[in-house]
A and B are shown apart, each in its own frame.
Chain A
């Protein structure tokens, strides 16, 4: 069998490619050859043409046929290689002769030719019978006068041959047309060819190579250069055809990637290979040459579909500066060897170059240098510049001379350093073997670089190309045991079952339905598809852009499955191969760092809520309501959900996360609050389809529908304000009824270092020392065992420094609070008269402490009484002005205004007095009393206020009882206060001389202060406080007197007094003790 046959045979390759089928009878030789060229991944039929030509040429001479025949005989006889070799040598000789058209042989054989049935032999040579026939006829025509041959001169003979060659060329041209026609017909009636394939199958076997056929050797070559080698061989064959020394090779082929590093050469003898490949680059015939066993020859020609690179697709570059970079295919050369790629260039525009180098040694040196840099870039990825679009501006800075504009009308086409840059991309030809074309897996980030090039800034991604690339990259379909599959192709079509095992391309399935039920059958993967039913809960896997979506199947059409995504409630359609059954529960969350519904910071002024998580990108609804698609890298950070974030709705009710709200006006959006960000609310509503149910509204535009946990929504419309219904709280509400603020303590926690008992919890009853505190908790070192525990401060029992009684923290710290207040006042007064106010102020604060202090007094006395008083005090008293107010208005509030203060420092002091007096009042005769003393001692203005206030104070009245009590005890305290303000003393005096004394004595001011202020202390302290520091007074008094005295007097008078009596600090102490 001749060599060409090998190529033309159909070895039953798995692909049913018609083209590769042995050419049906009508097919010409060329056709077959051409086809095989096209499809065999790599096969380049080298010798086909020459071979074809040779025989035809020889046919004339009638030599080659004979040779071939001889060969055949020899082989058939099972003659060994040696013999074969001999034959080959003969062949060679003959061929040489034939080609050179040596007359001797021709003369000898020509006559024989007349008696030969040439056709029969031609058959063997090629199946292009027609051609041969024609050739034959031509031959005969030419040969009709063999007898004349002798007469003709030699040259004539040659001429004749040339004529015939010309004829043959024409025929060939015609045949090409015929081929095309045949092609068309085949395309049109493709099935018929398939039908006719049947008769062909029988001969197929006969067409298989046998020992008679030339052998195929595998020759090593440089990997990646296979194709070049084959081309080189082809070229050489063509060159040598018709010369003395034709190539003894029959064909050469390569198997590309599957067998990189080898070319396969069909030849009669191994020696031919050596001789023929002499001097061809990149092929190493001297190294090991492998003889392909005859059985494996068909395998060698099995066609694998070569992947076609499509312009627009993506590849990666294997080597060089751009190793690993994604590139977009711009164009593919028709020879399939090279492709023009668009790459985002990595250029440094000479920034890293030694500026002097080019100057010193001229361009060459500079070039060398650059090359070296380039080389470094190859090896050291860290050195290579980041990918950025080409910028001519940058390039002009240092490399003006290398820059050249390529086209006048296309301003974006540059040549720089020998490369072309179009629209910022480097456009360069690469050998395909230097590209990674499989498993490219472009990430969206990379891909967007290519899309960003659009002139108008719009991003137009060619998604289909991307999809194609992605699709190519995913491994075929992967089946897992347990998948429900269906056979849709082949004999078992329609069978459904569960995959039991998967091995390579074969899936064993246990049939679950139909006649075969219960059996296990093996099916090739390619005829399988996954099968789902409506309602199945599935997850998208694989290369689809919906990867990792989870949803329920709503409809199935062939292998396209539509599912309803759980998260977005959108319907998406994917191929069943991209699906896998998911468990019926749970929504698989997001990927990576960001999850759906997360609140993320996009830029300092913008936040957004993630509405969709894709593989590479996120969809975000920002606070302005616009939706954007961003990449995770564009997110600066994720904002943790603030559980206790609060906003107010349109009606002023408090809203928190997880509340249900409805937008007023607008689109009436309703939803559960996911996030509160400043004044924006991100709502989630399952029934809303856009943005995965997320919307953004302003807090001021919504009304509460339902608060989580039934929290009472406050506000006009939603339920009564229970606070207002509490008569106790409402007392004196007129004067400003802000609920009492919790006591605040400043400075060092008084509890520190105290010996305390623990009154609750597992450590109840144990004694310890407070080592450290926070707002609500204390670290207590136990006496019993060396252990430090953390307990709430409330559960601590403190020892009252005076009485030794156990008191709780509020009370304890309360006393201290007073102190604070006092101090404040104190310092203020120190500053000066005016400052006096300040003290007053602080004094005012004292009330706060008072609040804290309430505990004792308060509880006992009357919350109500104090509160009001307190509040009153607070509001009025605290304002520095209050004094003034006082003067103007009898009421507490008035008196305290700073004006008051301003009136006179002295007066201030006085005031305190006044206050004191007031306080006193409660005690004693009150009005008159207070009035008198105060009046006397103090400025008149003062008096009025004092008196009036004290009198007028309801608090007073209400609290009287309490006050009295306190008074009694407090007297001392009282006194202290007096002392401070010397002037004020009088008042105190009035209250009780004894008390006065005490204050004086008592005196550690600091202490007093501390104590006095706090209301808690008040009852007793209160007095003291009042007396002592104005500030304290403010605080203390109020509470104690609770209402009455406190307010007015309170704060202020003391302050001033205070100031005067800076020393008061001692008082302070006194104060403390007094309680």
Chain B
């Protein structure tokens, strides 16, 4: 689910950047540092604006200055039970790996309807019900997330397509 989230970040700046364009530089740094990262809980998709940049404070003992930047960002946090669209990134005997944007999702074969079976002999290998449903690399899937796990700086989820209206698109 997407949220507009207010966050803050402390940016340290080398003295060589002190100058009239420091704000601009800070903003750029913020974008570079933050956009597209994952905190372990959510992904920061896009920084809308940095609405409050504090005054710089020189850190004692070094010349760098610290700026606290408050910014608004669009974040995406996957939830248990959320239904998402994904693109299959790989398929194997155990199940299907798919990517929901930055989030890798695993759909175990326990969570694939029983009529969709693993067919290792197809090229490329795929899950298929011998009808119109074929899951192979690149297939678009609608998945319900049933569990998420967060590591430091990354997330992982497992999903299910074993319900109505889930599966290939």
B-contacting residues, A544-586, CB 8 Å: 552-555, 562, 564, 566, 569-571, 584-586
- In angstroms, Cα B106 to Cα A687, docked, is 10
Q: Give B125-169 as 1s and 0s: 1 = Cβ < 8 Å from A's Cβ atoms.
A: 000000000000000000001111111100010101000000000
Query: In the bound complex, what is the Cα–Cα distance between A562 and B97 (angstroms)?
Result: 18
Name the prevailing secondary structure of the A interface residues. Answer: loop
A-side interface size class:
20 to 34
B90: A residues at CB distance < 8 A? 687
On chain B, the residues within 8 Å of A554 by CB distance are 108, 110-111, 158
Judged by a CB distance under 8 angstroms, whether B89 is at the interface is yes
Report whether A535 and B108 are in contact in the complex, using a CB–CB cutoff of 8 Å.
no
The answer to whether residues A686 and B104 also contact, given A535-B80, A571-B94 and a CB cut-off of 8 A, is yes
Shortest CB-to-CB span from B145 to chain A, Å, is 8
B contact residues around A587 at 8 Å (CB): 151
**Closest CB of chain A to B165's CB: distance in Å?**
18
Q: A555's closest neighbor in chain B, by CB?
A: B110
CB distance A564 to B158 under 8 Å? yes
Q: Is the CB of A537 within 8 A of B94?
A: no
Q: At the interface, yes or no: B36 with Cβ under 8 Å from chain A?
A: no
- Interfacial chain A residues near B110, Cβ < 8 Å: 554-555, 562, 571
Which residues from A are CB-within-8-Å of B149? 537, 552, 566, 584-585
Please classify how large the interface on chain B is, using the bins under 10, 10 to 19, 20 to 34, 35 or more.
Answer: 20 to 34
Nearest chain B CB to A556 CB, angstrom units: 9
Closest residue on chain B to residue A553 by CB atoms: B147
Cβ of A534 within 8 Å of any chain B Cβ, yes or no, is yes
Residues of B within 8 A of A585 (CB): 40, 149-152
- Are A564 and B106 within 8 A (Cβ)? yes
* Residue of A whose beta carbon sits closest to that of B41: A585
Q: Does the CB pair A687–B158 fall under 8 Å?
A: no
The interface residues of chain A lying within 8 Å CB-to-CB of B92 are 689
Task: Give the residues in chain B near A686, CB-CB below 8 Å.
Answer: 104
Would A534 and B106 count as touching, CB distance under 8 A? no
* Nearest B residue (CB) for A533: B146
CB distance from A579 to the nearest CB of B (A): 14
Known A-B contacts A534-B160, A535-B80, A585-B40; A555 and B108 likewise in contact (beta carbons under 8 Å): yes
Q: B89 touches which one: A537, A687, A762 (CB < 8 A)?
A: A687
Q: Are B151 and A534 in contact (CB under 8 A)?
A: no
Most buried by B among A535, A586, A687: A535
- Are B146 and A569 closer than 8 Å at their CB atoms? no
A534 touches B146 (CB 8 A): yes
Look across to chain B and name the residue whose beta carbon is closest to the beta carbon of A570.
B94
- With a CB–CB cut-off of 8 A, which chain A residues contact B151? 585-587
Q: Which of B40, B111, B149 has its CB near the most chain A CB atoms (within 10 A)?
A: B149
- Tell me the bound Cα distance from A569 to B92 in angstroms: 11
Q: How far is the CA of A534 from the CA of B147 in the complex (A)?
A: 7
Cα–Cα, bound, A554→B107 (Å): 9
Nearest chain A CB to B47 CB, angstrom units: 21
A555 to B160 alpha-carbon distance, docked (Å): 10
Taken together as a complex, chains A and B put the C-alpha atoms of A878 and B93 apart, in Å, by 64
Contact A569 B160 (CB under 8 A): no
Q: Quick check: B94 and A689 within 8 Å, CB to CB? A: yes
B94 with A552: CB separation less than 8 A? no
Contact of A569 among B61, B94, B111, B150 (CB under 8 A): B94
Find chain B residues with CB under 8 A from A614 CB. Answer: none
Q: A554-B108, A687-B97 are in contact. Are A536 and B89 (CB under 8 A)?
A: no
A553, A585, A587 — most chain B CB neighbours (10 Å) = A585
- Residue picked from A537, A554, A555, A566, most chain B C-beta under 10 Å: A554
With a CB–CB cut-off of 8 A, which chain A residues contact B158?
Answer: 535, 552, 554, 564
Per-residue interface assignment for chain B, residues 41 to 71, with 1 indicating a CB less than 8 Å from any chain A CB and 0 otherwise: 0000000000000000000010000000000
Contact of B146 among A535, A566, A586 (CB under 8 A): A535
User: Chain B's nearest CB lies how many Å from the CB of A159?
Assistant: 79
A534, A536, A587, A686: most-surrounded residue (chain B CB, <10 A): A534
Q: What is the CA–CA distance of A552 and B150 in the complex, to the nearest angstrom?
A: 12
> Which A residues are CB-close (under 8 A) to B97?
687
Given A535-B158, A687-B90, A689-B92, are A571 and B108 neighbors across the interface (CB < 8 Å)? yes
Question: With A564-B106, A585-B149 in contact, is A534–B111 under 8 Å at CB?
Answer: yes
B-contact bits for A577-599, CB 8 A (1 contact / 0 none): 00000001111000000000000
Chain A: CB-nearest residue to B146? A535
With A571-B94, A687-B97 known to touch, is A537 a contact of B147 (CB < 8 Å)? yes
Residue of B nearest to A687 (CB): B90
Measured between C-beta atoms, what is the minimum distance from B101 to chain A in Å? 16
Residues of A within 8 A of B150 (CB): 584-585
Chain B residues numbered 83-122 whose CB sits less than 8 Å from any CB in chain A: 89-90, 92-94, 97, 104, 106, 108, 110-111
Alpha-carbon separation in the docked complex, A566 to B40 (Å): 15
A688 to chain B, nearest CB (A): 9
A687: chain B residues within 8 A (beta carbon): 89-90, 97
Chain B residues with Cβ below 8 Å from A689 are 92-94
B111 partner, pick from A555, A566, A584, A762, beta carbons under 8 A: A555
With a cutoff of 8 Å between Cβ atoms, the chain B residues found around residue A555 in the complex are: 108, 110-111
Contact B147 A536 (CB under 8 A): yes
Cα–Cα distance between A571 and B145 once the two chains are bound (Å): 18
Task: Give per-residue flags for A1026-1062: 1 if the beta carbon is below 8 A from chain B beta carbons, else 0.
Answer: 0000000000000000000000000000000000000
Most buried by B among A553, A562, A564, A566: A564
| Min CB gap B151→A, angstroms | 6
Chain B nearest CB from A684 CB (Å) reads 13
Within 8 A of B (CB), among A455-514: none
CB <8 Å contact, A535 and B147 = yes
**Distance of B42 from chain A, by nearest CB (Å):** 13
In the bound complex, residues from chain A placing their C-beta under 8 Å from that of B148 are 535, 584
Interface centre among B61, B93, B108 (most CB of A within 10 A): B108
Complex Cα–Cα for A584 and B147 (A): 9
- Tell me the complex Cα distance, A689–B91, Å: 11
Tell me the complex Cα distance, A686–B99, Å: 13
A586–B94 Cα distance when bound, in Å, is 23
Give the Cβ gap from A55 to chain B, nearest Cβ, in Å. Answer: 66
Cα–Cα, bound, A340→B92 (Å): 48
Contacts of B93 in A (CB 8 A): 689
Chain A residues whose CB sits within 8 angstroms of the CB of B104 once the complex forms = 686
Q: What is the distance, in angstroms, from A442's C-beta to the closest C-beta of chain B? A: 31
| Complex-state Cα separation, A587 to B151, whole angstroms | 7
The digit string for B16-53, where 1 denotes a CB below 8 A from any CB of A, is 00000000000000000000000010000000000000
Q: Which residues of B contact A534 (CB under 8 A)?
A: 111, 146-147, 160
Bound complex: CA A587 to CA B156 (Å): 11
Give, as a whole number of angstroms, the nearest-CB distance from B127 to chain A. 15
- Please report the C-alpha to C-alpha distance between residue A587 and residue B145 in the assembled complex, in whole angstroms: 20
17 contacts between A and B (CB under 8 A): A535-B80, A535-B146, A535-B148, A552-B147, A554-B110, A555-B110, A555-B111, A569-B94, A571-B94, A571-B108, A584-B148, A584-B149, A585-B40, A585-B152, A587-B151, A687-B90, A689-B92
List of 3 A-B pairs having minimum Cβ-Cβ separation, nearest first:
A535-B147, A535-B146, A555-B110
B residues apposed to A, CB below 8 Å: 40, 61, 80, 89-90, 92-94, 97, 104, 106, 108, 110-111, 145-152, 156, 158, 160
List 12 additional contacts besides A535-B148, A564-B158, A585-B40; criterion CB under 8 Å: A552-B158, A554-B108, A554-B110, A562-B108, A570-B94, A571-B94, A584-B150, A585-B150, A585-B151, A687-B89, A687-B97, A689-B94
